Amino acid sequence: MDNGPTDATPTAAAFRLILLSKSNPVMGCYMFWTSLLVLKMLVMSLLTARQRMKTKTYANPEDLRLSRSPEVRFGDPNVERVRRAHRNDLENILPFLLMSLAYVASGPNPLTARLLIRIGASARLLHTVVYAIIPVPQPARALAFFTTFAITCFEAGYVLVCCIKYI
């Protein structure tokens, strides 16, 4: 490669532009924590199933035979607690993941971005623990909730400013 330097310039620029690639450490960090949060959300389905079996609360007639329950039931408090926690995940984790992806694509400071993704994702893991696994008095759940909430807002504000010209 005798013409290395002249070649390197455009290619390196191209590489730097590919923010949504695992060669970008921020994207790698996003991918790691996305996997953990997705696994956590899937576990909620299993927790719901466990509570349904324990309390014999099935919502569909075709599920009764497996458990020898006489009829469909709704509104068991243990089942509903896990379901509320699961719905809270849908309302917060999915927007956090979509927002973080746009944030990564906006090319933020790598250190800040990785810190925000780590804290935001960890707070949601904690939220599930204090909501659905071991219910603890407030404000434990509120603190975990608002940590990710604030980070998602910050990311949205950053991307809004960054992309305002494409409105």
Interactions with its own copies, residue window 19-38 (CB under 8 A)? 19-23, 25, 27-32, 34-36, 38
Closest by alpha carbon to 41, among 77, 75, 92? 92
**Shorter beta-carbon distance to its own copies: residue 42 or 70:** 42
115 touches its own copies (CB under 8 A): no
CA gyration radius for the chain?
Answer: 22
**Shorter beta-carbon distance to its own copies: residue 54 or 87:** 87
Stated as kind and residue range, the H or E segment containing 95 is helix 77-105
Asked if 117 and 97 touch (Cβ cutoff 8 Å), the reply is: no
159 touches its own copies (CB under 8 A): yes
**Shorter beta-carbon distance to its own copies: residue 133 or 153:** 153
List 53, 112, 135, 143, residue binding its own copies (CB under 8 A):
135
53 touches its own copies (CB under 8 A): no
Look up residue 56 and give its DSSP letter. Answer: T
124 touches its own copies (CB under 8 A): no
Whole-number Å distance between alpha carbons of 94 and 33: 12
Site size for its own copies (CB under 8 A): 79
Asked if 113 and 103 touch (Cβ cutoff 8 Å), the reply is: yes
Find the shortest distance in angstroms from Cβ 88 to its own copies.
9
